[in-house]
Structure 1
């Protein structure tokens, strides 16, 4: 019989409801039987003991909160009766022992990637058009309008047919009610991949991407340096063949600063790179004409790149979550964690970020660090970030969104304990501050915000060539240059939003698959996506989210 509740860790003081539970309903976990005292929706938690105010509450084997109000055995945990709480952490200096999973079946397998001169392999081949400052965003838009459609890279579904039908109804004198109830024929569908490639002038280039942003001036010099570091991470990224950069000329983010950051990441940088400064060139027409000529010259060079076999050790995987729910930490995230361990065992690289969503599991991550220096850097970055958040009048405890809370994640520590499962169990080989480049194979921790777009943007800037993105509520986040594989934590979501979801791990909740089986299935999907055999939903929809992290004040 399928379980209706789950106890995640032997030391936990709560159960997770896998289905909706009604008042008086009897539930059983192993030798424990208790009666539910009130309606408890699926994904929420019920107490397996009576809690008095101040009593600790544990999930995933760690402290995730304390009772604010009395909670009876069988009662529901809510924001009314539970508050965020975590244990302190320190550097123990213990040696972490890890047993890698068996990866024999993938040892000789390869993916088809783009080989770059620095030894990295891309999973795609893009050309970038990048503004150094927000003042150039309009020129970026002009270039996009000039290039995208005629080169065959328009991916967005058009709703022109629906608009035309609505216009006809208005012109015919129909009422507001008739317009609201109109049975429209549906959006025109974009061409499939094969047809798009046939229309492209440069068939070996996956797209021309435009990284508009709101930075580059007006903030601190540190913000400008960080932005240049992020943009350099994209320009030198293995999924990028070359770039066109537009500069105004007088902004904080100077061309020399960008070139310095490029050299940090790629001392032998040899990709086509064209930098145009508007205040030197003069008129818009001169700037755009020169940018178009140079971009076409670069596209001709980039089109010579073709996919080649690459060992799986060349995979670099970002680990992300957004719109998490009460099932994320017991299905999608641990499945991603197992896939992460498989990638690490194969010699590949994984990146775990979102530091506000590691709150409460710091001790485990410190203990997993390869050496004291790495653990010390993690502690320093976490404590500095937490202090800055408090100085701004907030704190990690305010991280959960209304959607998180509605679907069972009522404290940040509870959310974090589940989110950290994406990192599997492998040792932490490096801890990086934004926007540093990942250079060591294995599990890397990258300091980023909990905001999924800012974090995904950062992971790709640090070198992720594919991103695994778990969601329980349905988040459409994508990235301009790296495929983002969207993974549902529950089957209801996968069925309701199939246009956004690529992989369903609700099979774990349904009892049809183990976490290990789901993780292995994810690895197979990673290989197909990395090889260009599967186009993920975010790429298909042109979901090109790009938000740099601005840490400083505006001046």
Structure 2
């Protein structure tokens, strides 16, 4: 029998509706029998007992809100009748015991990756072309136009046939109504030409709006982020375009490179336009050196690597009321499996850890690490409040509509992605966070900014859970999408790779879904499977300005 509702933790005083519940529905839970006073939509929560004004709401075993008024037994919690609340946190005793999962099915598995001289292993092989300042964005795009089609890296222009049909309708005198009613279809899909370099996955041309005009701290952070991408195991080498007079100087970039890899030896070509002179000379030199670099990069081939070389970024976006009970716990089990086998995982999005600070700080391997985490959380939230907001403002309208009423509710579910292993390191943006075990990386809750940062921190694979559906990816790292519910998976099959909704339906356990996820991760890391985000060319790249971004 499929469950209709669920208590996540024994001390929780609300239940989660696993399907739409009608007004008058009889609820039978641990000796309590009552009737719902109103309908409860799937993913939303309702009270187990009557609650007075100011009463505490618990989910996942932690405080997630307080009532604004008295609530009836069975009443749905909303933004009108409760508000965000979370327990304070302090330095506690270490809680490092954890149950390592069974990894017998994976312990002897390997993936085929690109081995770099510093010991890291890439799950792909890319060349980067990046600007140090936004003034060079156009030149980067000119190089993109020159290279992509000729080298066979350009994505198919699959919607040009539809535009051709619309043009034909217009030229034939069709009305606006007829155009809107037209049944568009693809007559064909244009495929890229044969790849010239068989062992290169592509050239990625990054653009951004930073490098000058902001604070010096922003410029230094940008250089750190870009350095993280250049040293990344998925990158064979890079071409960097600089203007010359900007805050983000090439010297800062080089300093950040050697900070991350003291023996950095990848091909790196930096061109400064104000030194070179004309645009033509700049671009011709950049094209020649980039092509020569591609010849070198193509000499590398995939070779077997053990699973401890995986560094998995844990992300969520477009979360819903099922995120914390399906996809995120499944991802948490994957995290524990990877850690058990000696690999690395990165949990970020600090605004979405509000309310679980005590648990995570207690799991830090030592007091110094715990204190660093608590300081980052307090400083970030204080900055947000100073600017007229706070972590409490993190849930989006979509989150709220689908059952994530307070930041603490969202956070308690989001933290499940990190599993149960000890926290080995806490890293501030834009540093490396690829130490074996669980790493906490300070990033905003904005999923694209956070994914961008996780990749710079060393993630060679990103697992991204979504309840509502989020079309995003990364230029150099495969991003695998996992839906929290079957409805979204079936509605958006073009952007989602794996369905975790089977957990809600009771047809699979968290452990079974986790093993399915890890098997897919290994295939993607080996180049045997291509995630939807890579197929669609979802190359989102947004550096974080160290202001408030929730």
**Which TM class, normalised by the smaller chain length?**
over 0.9
Cα separation, 1, equivalents of 2:181 and 2:411: 44
Q: Deviations over 1:414-444 (max 9, x none)?
A: 0000000000000000000001112420000
User: Post-superposition shift, 1:164?
Assistant: 1.2
Quick check: 1:99 aligned with 2:71?
A: no
Cα separation, 2, equivalents of 1:36 and 1:329: 24
Secondary structure at the residue paired with 2:105?
helix
Cα separation, 2, equivalents of 1:188 and 1:208: 25
Cα separation, 1, equivalents of 2:274 and 2:344: 42
Contact 1:333 1:470 in 2 (8 A): yes
Residue 492 (structure 1) aligns with: 487
Q: Deviations over 1:83-124 (max 9, x none)?
A: 000001111123421121121221111110000000000000
User: Post-superposition shift, 1:159?
Assistant: 1.3
Contact 2:453 2:543 in 1 (8 A): yes
Cα separation, 2, equivalents of 1:278 and 1:190: 36
Counterpart among 262, 266, 275 of residue 267 in structure 1: 262
Residue 204 (structure 2) aligns with: 209
Cα separation, 2, equivalents of 1:457 and 1:32: 47
Counterpart among 215, 221, 225 of residue 216 in structure 2: 221
Quick check: 1:298 aligned with 2:293?
A: yes
Cα separation, 2, equivalents of 1:98 and 1:422: 15
Quick check: 1:511 aligned with 2:506?
A: yes
Cα separation, 2, equivalents of 1:190 and 1:386: 49
Cα separation, 2, equivalents of 1:507 and 1:33: 28
Residue 127 (structure 1) aligns with: 127
Cα separation, 2, equivalents of 1:139 and 1:118: 31
User: Post-superposition shift, 1:284?
Assistant: 1.0
Cα separation, 2, equivalents of 1:70 and 1:454: 39
Contact 1:6 1:29 in 2 (8 A): no
Contact 1:219 1:552 in 2 (8 A): no
**Pairing 1:411-450 to 2, within 5 Å after superposition:** 411-450=406-445
Aligned length: 548
Contact 1:5 1:28 in 2 (8 A): no
Residue 25 (structure 1) aligns with: 25
Contact 1:478 1:545 in 2 (8 A): yes
Contact 1:244 1:275 in 2 (8 A): yes
User: Post-superposition shift, 1:187?
Assistant: 7.0
Cα separation, 2, equivalents of 1:374 and 1:361: 16
Residue 109 (structure 1) aligns with: 109
**Pairing 1:470-549 to 2, within 5 Å after superposition:** 470-549=465-544
Structure 1 alignment gaps of length 5 or more: none
Q: TM-score, normalised to structure 1's length?
A: 0.97
Residue 170 (structure 1) aligns with: 170
User: Post-superposition shift, 1:491?
Assistant: 0.1
Q: Deviations over 1:372-418 (max 9, x none)?
A: 01100000000000010011111000000000000000100000000
User: Post-superposition shift, 1:268?
Assistant: 0.7
Counterpart among 337, 360, 367 of residue 365 in structure 1: 360
Quick check: 1:468 aligned with 2:454?
A: no
User: Post-superposition shift, 1:274?
Assistant: 0.4
Contact 2:334 2:514 in 1 (8 A): yes
Contact 1:157 1:187 in 2 (8 A): no
Sort the Cα spacing of 1:94 and 1:521 in 2 relative to 1 into closer, same or farther, 3 A: same
User: Post-superposition shift, 1:184?
Assistant: 1.5
Residue 334 (structure 1) aligns with: 329
Sort the Cα spacing of 1:547 and 1:10 in 2 relative to 1 into closer, same or farther, 3 A: same
Q: Deviations over 1:127-160 (max 9, x none)?
A: 0001000000011111111111111111244211
Contact 1:63 1:413 in 2 (8 A): yes
Cα separation, 1, equivalents of 2:394 and 2:376: 17
User: Post-superposition shift, 1:450?
Assistant: 0.1
Contact 2:320 2:399 in 1 (8 A): yes
**Pairing 1:154-193 to 2, within 5 Å after superposition:** 154-186=154-186, 188-189=188-189, 191=191
Sort the Cα spacing of 1:277 and 1:5 in 2 relative to 1 into closer, same or farther, 3 A: same
Q: TM-score, normalised to structure 2's length?
A: 0.98
Contact 1:159 1:188 in 2 (8 A): no
Secondary structure at the residue paired with 2:94?
coil
Secondary structure at the residue paired with 2:545?
coil
Structure 2 alignment gaps of length 5 or more: none
Residue 54 (structure 1) aligns with: 54
Contact 1:139 1:288 in 2 (8 A): yes
User: Post-superposition shift, 1:9?
Assistant: 0.4
Q: Deviations over 1:334-366 (max 9, x none)?
A: 000000000000000000000000000000001
Sort the Cα spacing of 1:187 and 1:452 in 2 relative to 1 into closer, same or farther, 3 A: farther
Q: Deviations over 1:162-202 (max 9, x none)?
A: 111111111111111111101122374354xxxx6x70111
